[in-house]
Amino acid sequence: MNIYDISKQSGVSIATVSRVINNSGYVAEKTRKKVMEVIEKNSYSPNAFARGMSTSSMKTVGILTTNIRDLYQAQCVYYLEQDLKKHGYTAMLCCTGDEQAAKKEHVELLASRSVDALIFIGSHFVEKSEKDNGYIYAASNHIPVFLLNGCLSHSNIYSILCDDEKGCYELTKCALDHGAKSPYFLATRDTFSVQRKWKGFKKSCKEHDIEIDDSRFRLLEDGFEQLGSQVFSILQDTDIDAAICVDDEIASIVEKVADYCKRKVPRDLQITGYNDSIFAKLAHPAISSFDNRTAYMCSQAIYGLVQVLEGKEFPEETMYTGKVVLRHSTND
Amino acid sequence: MNIYDISKQSGVSIATVSRVINNSGYVAEKTRKKVMEVIEKNSYSPNAFARGMSTSSMKTVGILTTNIRDLYQAQCVYYLEQDLKKHGYTAMLCCTGDEQAAKKEHVELLASRSVDALIFIGSHFVEKSEKDNGYIYAASNHIPVFLLNGCLSHSNIYSILCDDEKGCYELTKCALDHGAKSPYFLATRDTFSVQRKWKGFKKSCKEHDIEIDDSRFRLLEDGFEQLGSQVFSILQDTDIDAAICVDDEIASIVEKVADYCKRKVPRDLQITGYNDSIFAKLAHPAISSFDNRTAYMCSQAIYGLVQVLEGKEFPEETMYTGKVVLRHSTND
DNA sequence: CTGAAAGCGCTTACAG
DNA sequence: CTGAAAGCGCTTACAG
């Protein structure tokens, strides 16, 4: 069943059928009705490839995530997909992992599928070395690129991000305001947003006249067991009294290890997470965290995407604020 | 840059260019080399739509999930996508939510994109009323359908599932073997796999001569706060001494509430989860759970998918076993 | 308001 | 081993 069949059965040309399908151009109400009837009777739906070939678009956008099993990234995918389909777009998902080569390959894979736009989730894609971002720049020459929680200055790249520097500054301030003297900063990766959080951490320490150096930045190996043993070492070997973690999952593990080491949270050790996820709520005591408004970020991205694809203006960079959510892992 | 440009630059016909691109038919080594050079020089890549139009496939498969924010479902998506891309397929993701109409709409959306196959994640799609599964049957008339953790008998539908009846039977047995007399079964949804788990629960109770009726099946409203208060009621109003939960997230919340109510786990209350996720590991005490081998299930699904799309045979139903992972939320 | 016709960029029998 | 040609199913100026 194709447009010719519909055309025959309804006694009009395929051009007219096309017009009623796409709601474009003029077509007499009577004609439209007749054609619609035939279409519905046959439950005809136009061939996506042919359509794509004519219009060079299948209303598809590529979403890139390094790891969909990460709750935060899954959250983003969820909101993005919600908004995307509201606008008739469909999402192609790629989970790239952390290796540079794989990331590049996936971008090419999506490009070969002629997606209308590319959305990169998380700061995991923005590398310190400009050369390593080359494949993102290259992609942006053909299709609009949206960066969540990251920032790259280039035409046709649009960055939307929460002010994580401020976020981490405020969380650190909570701990320091309530007596912490020896805070540590814990991360499992050194990404763009981690760097911004680290900056906020340092700023807050400075304001509290706490001398710190780079040894306060603990880059830990990922994985449940590995994290546990590394955190254990830190608890043994340092005078840590506040763990400022870049996400709630790490914070949960710190709390679990603290419990194991008989350190009372928050009395002996204050802990903060990030993202305000279920991990922060489930932990015992519940963990103070930062709500970085994922839903808002995603809806902004899709709004921008639609604007750009319609040829309208959209700012290259959008930075917005989140909010601290106090719980019982910091002193009150 | 299209196939004609390549054809001109390399001095051969487009048919030949097509052959070298697709590695099909005979083409002289010398010709192939020349054409490849031109292709690479121009970094040409064939237009996916045109290709799709000729072959009626864009090597794309649709993945349907009710909620990607659910750790288990995210896990599935992760493994599926991994395997899919190994075979040159790309994943289109749809998060449908729980409403029937939306599920149906999404299937149609994917069908209109001419995906090569459909994969439904989780038992959330298999309804008790056969009528409500109509849209799945309908889809299977055009494209192969793969069902993870669910089972539907119909041609062109392939079901791959873990033996959850056995899984839940074994978990319940752990609790009962270690003294529980009044177990309850907790779920947030009444799906196909929940029914199977319930069956295993009942079987184990029967073997232990524990009289139970349907009031042991507690269907709870989802959501962090809601769950907390409902579990609280159960702890207050019943003589529960074992909570057999259909997933680790529920189990974590039960444990949190138990702690709040000063019930010692596992002494006063044994708890079991399901899926063997990070929630089970993070909880304190860590929660006994069931490893249903998600990675295996997904790889089986993609293996089957490739077989079917190549016109080969694959069994309509595959059921495999998982394994209990004992931790400290049950007595040892 | 409607239709004939060109064009989108491939693949694949078929003939040589 | 290679090429000419048909076909895939749409959209969209253009003419009327």
B171-181 tens-digit pLDDT: 999 999 999 99
Instruction: Provide the H-helix boundaries in A56-122.
Output: 71-86, 100-112
Considering only CA atoms, which of B77, B150, B221 is closest in space to residue A81?
Answer: B77
Residue B166's contacts (CB-CB under 8 Å, 6 or more residues apart) are B200, B321, B322
Q: What's the whole-number mean pLDDT along residues B254-281? A: 95
DSSP labels for A122-184? Answer: SGGG--SSGGGGHHHHHHHTTS-EEEES----STTEEEEEE-HHHHHHHHHHHHHHTT--SEE
CA–C1' nearest nucleotide, residue A53 = C8
Q: What is the rounded distance in angstroms from the CA atom of residue B69 to the CA atom of residue B74?
A: 7
Q: What is the rounded distance in angstroms from the CA atom of residue B44 to the CA atom of residue A52?
A: 19
Taking the Cβ of residue A278 and every Cβ of chain B, the question of whether any pair is shorter than 8 Å is answered with yes
Q: Hey, what are A69's tokens?
A: 């099993």
Query: Min CA distance, B56 vs chain A (Å)?
Result: 8
Q: What is the rounded distance in angstroms from the CA atom of residue A119 to the CA atom of residue A93?
A: 10
Rounded to the nearest integer, the mean pLDDT of chain A is 94
**Strand B60-65 to B117-120 pairing:** parallel
Confidence of residue B228 (pLDDT cuts 50, 70, 90): very high
Tell me how far the alpha carbon of residue A216 is from its chain's centroid. 27
Confidence of residue B283 (pLDDT cuts 50, 70, 90): very high
User: What pLDDT does A276 receive?
Assistant: 96
What b/e readout covers B203-216, taking b as 16+ CB neighbours within 10 angstroms?
Answer: bbbeeeebeeeeeb
Confidence of residue B72 (pLDDT cuts 50, 70, 90): very high
Q: What's the whole-number mean pLDDT along residues A284-304? A: 96
Q: What's the whole-number mean pLDDT along residues B171-197? A: 95
Phi, psi of A260 (to 5 degrees): -60, -35
pLDDT at A245 over 80: yes
Query: Min CA distance, A156 vs chain B (Å)?
Result: 21
Q: CA(A51)–C1'(C3) in Å?
A: 20
Residue A27's contacts (CB-CB under 8 Å, 6 or more residues apart) are A16, A19, A20, A35
How many alpha carbons lie under 13 Å from residue A283 in its C-beta half-sphere? 31
Are residues A60 and A92 in contact, defined by beta-carbon separation less than 8 angstroms? Answer: yes
pLDDT at B149 over 80: yes
Contacts across the A-B interface (CB distance below 8 Å): 130
What b/e readout covers B104-136, taking b as 16+ CB neighbours within 10 angstroms?
Answer: bebbebbbbbbbbbbbbbbbbbbbeeeeebebb
Are residues B136 and B153 in contact, defined by beta-carbon separation less than 8 angstroms? Answer: no
Q: What's the whole-number mean pLDDT along residues B53-81? A: 94
Taking the Cβ of residue B302 and every Cβ of chain A, the question of whether any pair is shorter than 8 Å is answered with no
Q: Which long-range contacts (CB under 8 A, 24 or more apart) does B132-140 make?
A: B132/B100, B135/B103, B135/B104, B135/B107, B135/B108, B136/B107, B139/B107, B139/B111
How many alpha carbons lie under 13 Å from residue A22 in its C-beta half-sphere? 16
User: What pLDDT does B71 receive?
Assistant: 92
Q: Which nucleotides of C are covered by protein (CB under 7 A)?
A: 1-5, 7-13
Q: Hey, what are A231's tokens?
A: 């955190």
B3-46 falls under which CATH superfamily?
lambda repressor-like DNA-binding domains (1.10.260.40)
Q: Hey, what are B155's tokens?
A: 């041609």
Phi, psi of B148 (to 5 degrees): -95, 135
Q: What's the whole-number mean pLDDT along residues A270-297? A: 96
Residue A70's contacts (CB-CB under 8 Å, 6 or more residues apart) are A122
Name the 3-class secondary structure at B239.
coil
pLDDT at A122 over 80: no
Q: Which nucleotides of D are covered by protein (CB under 7 A)?
A: 1-5, 7-13
- Model pLDDT for residues B285-322, shown as the tens digit of each residue: 999 999 999 999 999 999 999 999 988 999 999 999 99
User: What pLDDT does B310 receive?
Assistant: 87
Instruction: Provide the H-helix boundaries in chain B.
Output: 3-10, 14-22, 29-41, 48-55, 71-86, 100-112, 134-140, 164-177, 192-207, 224-237, 248-260, 278-282, 294-309
Task: Give CATH for domain A59-162+294-321.
Answer: 3.40.50.2300
Taking the Cβ of residue B21 and every Cβ of chain A, the question of whether any pair is shorter than 8 Å is answered with no
Q: Are A74 and B74 in contact (CB < 8 Å)? A: yes
User: What pLDDT does B227 receive?
Assistant: 96
Q: What is the rounded distance in angstroms from the CA atom of residue A75 to the CA atom of residue A9?
A: 47
- Model pLDDT for residues B114-125, shown as the tens digit of each residue: 999 999 997 889
User: What pLDDT does A161 receive?
Assistant: 95
CA–C1' nearest nucleotide, residue A14 = C3
Looking at chain A, the whole-number percentage of residues with pLDDT higher than 90 is: 88
Q: What is the rounded distance in angstroms from the CA atom of residue A250 to the CA atom of residue A242?
A: 13
Give the sheet arrangement for strand A60-65, strand by strand. Answer: A317-320, A157-162, A145-148, A117-120, A60-65, A90-95, B90-95, B60-65, B117-120, B145-148, B157-162, B317-320
Q: Hey, what are A17's tokens?
A: 């059928």
pLDDT at B212 over 80: yes
Of chain A residues 188-227, which have a CB less than 8 A from chain B? 224
Q: What percent of the residues of chain B are helix, what percent strand, and what percent coil, each to the nearest 5?
A: 50, 15, 35
pLDDT at B182 over 80: yes
**Strand B157-162 to B145-148 pairing:** parallel
User: What pLDDT does A185 receive?
Assistant: 98
State the amino acid at position A182 in one-letter form: S
State the amino acid at position B329 in one-letter form: S
Taking the Cβ of residue A249 and every Cβ of chain B, the question of whether any pair is shorter than 8 Å is answered with yes
Using an 8 Å CB-CB cutoff, list chain A residues near B139: none
User: What pLDDT does A28 receive?
Assistant: 92
Domains A3-46 and A59-162+294-321 share a fold: no
Element (H, E) at A62: strand A60-65
Considering only CA atoms, which of A289, A298, A295, A202 is closest in space to residue A246?
Answer: A289
Q: Residue ranges of the domains in chain A?
A: 3-46, 59-162+294-321, 164-292
Taking the Cβ of residue A110 and every Cβ of chain B, the question of whether any pair is shorter than 8 Å is answered with yes
* B59-162+294-323 classified as CATH 3.90.470.10: no
pLDDT at B248 over 90: yes
User: What pLDDT does B129 receive?
Assistant: 84
Looking at chain B, the whole-number percentage of residues with pLDDT higher than 70 is: 100
Confidence of residue B244 (pLDDT cuts 50, 70, 90): very high
Site of tokens 């069943």? A1
pLDDT at A130 over 90: no
Q: What is the rounded distance in angstroms from the CA atom of residue B170 to the CA atom of residue A279?
A: 28
B164-292: CATH topology is: Rossmann fold (3.40.50)
Taking the Cβ of residue A331 and every Cβ of chain B, the question of whether any pair is shorter than 8 Å is answered with no
User: What pLDDT does A127 receive?
Assistant: 86
Q: Hey, what are B68's tokens?
A: 């990607």
pLDDT at A332 over 80: no
Name the 3-class secondary structure at B120.
strand
Q: Which residues pair with B162 in a beta bridge?
A: B320
Tell me how far the alpha carbon of residue A265 is from its chain's centroid. 31
Q: Is the dihedral of CA A306, A308, A314, A318 positive or negative?
A: positive
- Model pLDDT for residues B14-29, shown as the tens digit of each residue: 999 999 999 988 999 9
CA nearest to B48 within chain A: A113
Q: What percent of the residues of chain A are helix, what percent strand, and what percent coil, each to the nearest 5?
A: 50, 15, 35
Confidence of residue A9 (pLDDT cuts 50, 70, 90): very high
User: What pLDDT does A25 receive?
Assistant: 84
User: What pLDDT does A244 receive?
Assistant: 98
Rounded to the nearest integer, the mean pLDDT of chain B is 94
Tell me how far the alpha carbon of residue A114 is from its chain's centroid. 22
- Model pLDDT for residues A179-204, shown as the tens digit of each residue: 999 999 999 999 889 999 999 999 99
Residue B48 burial by Cβ neighbours in a 10 Å radius (0-12, 13-18, 19+): buried
User: What pLDDT does B233 receive?
Assistant: 96
Among B55, B95, B257, B260, which would you mutate to test the A interface (most chain A Cβ atoms within 10 Å of its Cβ)? Answer: B95
Q: Hey, what are A150's tokens?
A: 């990251």
Q: Are A94 and B77 in contact (CB < 8 Å)? A: no
Q: CA(A16)–C1'(D4) in Å?
A: 33
- What angle, 0 to 180 degrees and rounded to 10, lies between the N-to-C axes of helices B248-260 and B224-237? 60
Q: How far is CA B281 from CA A225, B76, B272, in A?
A: 10, 19, 12
